Structure 1
Amino acid sequence: MGKQALQIFRESLPILQILSDPHRQDILLHLSEDGRMTVNEITDKLPLSRPAVSHHLKLLKNAGVIKVEQVGTQRYYELSMQESVDLLRRLLVALERDCL
């Protein structure tokens, strides 16, 4: 693996780690299918407690995979994956170039 590919791989690790959890995958799937949702709406679709869902949402938000919008007293979560997808695309291109 070349230096550039290794650097992009290291940049991608936080996203890959965030996406490795099945519960976070389920949250992303629901947001993808249903659009923006509140934590209560997400919790209703999962076998997790509200605090557990909130924890996963915080990790996804910190990784830049979702964004949150405050509307009155509600917080709405929605996908925000363009930067992550772009980074993973760069990783794939670098791996194809350097490793195949």
Structure 2
Amino acid sequence: MENYQDECHLKEIHQLAEEFESCRKLLLALGDENRQHLILEMMRMGQCEGARVGAITEKTNLSRPAVSHHIRILKEAGLLKVRKEGTKNYYYFDADTEAMDRLLQMLAHAKEIMEHRPERK
């Protein structure tokens, strides 16, 4: 019985590892302190139609190239989108719902595994 439980537990852990792997880009984007600050400042700006890099730069202690770099990472992770108006780019939050769903599923699965650990009972 114990071998079966160990085998099932290993399968769960391997599945969780795959789920974690599928969330890495999003976790990396959210895990950086500068990007967290940038996200918070963008939210505080309250610009639902989007904000330009210059306006975002003014609200952070980051240089314009650094803000552009972090925006690129957030875009690639599916957290930001860009709206173009002529030659101007406006960045706004519109998270990739599939990526967010994968992240939520992975976190729920990790919580479920932890709740069923023998030392928790």
Matches within 5 A, 1:1-100: 2=12, 3-33=14-44, 34-35=46-47, 36-83=50-97, 84-100=99-115
Do 2:82 and 2:91's aligned partners in 1 also have CA atoms closer than 8 Å?
A: yes
**What stretches of structure 1 of length at least 5 have no aligned partner?**
none
Greater RCO between the two (CA within 8 Å, min separation 6)? 1
Q: Which TM-score applies when normalising by structure 1?
A: 0.88
Do 2:78 and 2:96's aligned partners in 1 also have CA atoms closer than 8 Å?
A: no
Task: Give the 3 Å change call, closer, same or farther, for CA 32–85 of structure 1 in structure 2.
Answer: farther
Matched positions, count: 100
**What stretches of structure 2 of length at least 5 have no aligned partner?**
1-9, 116-121
Amino acid at match of 1:32: M
- The alignment-based identity, stated in percent, is 34
CA displacement, residues 45-99 of structure 1 (integer Å, 9 cap, x when unaligned): 0111111111111111111111111011210001122524322211111112223
Larger radius of gyration: 2
Q: How far apart in 1 are the matches of 2:27 and 2:19? A: 12
Q: Which TM-score applies when normalising by structure 2?
A: 0.74
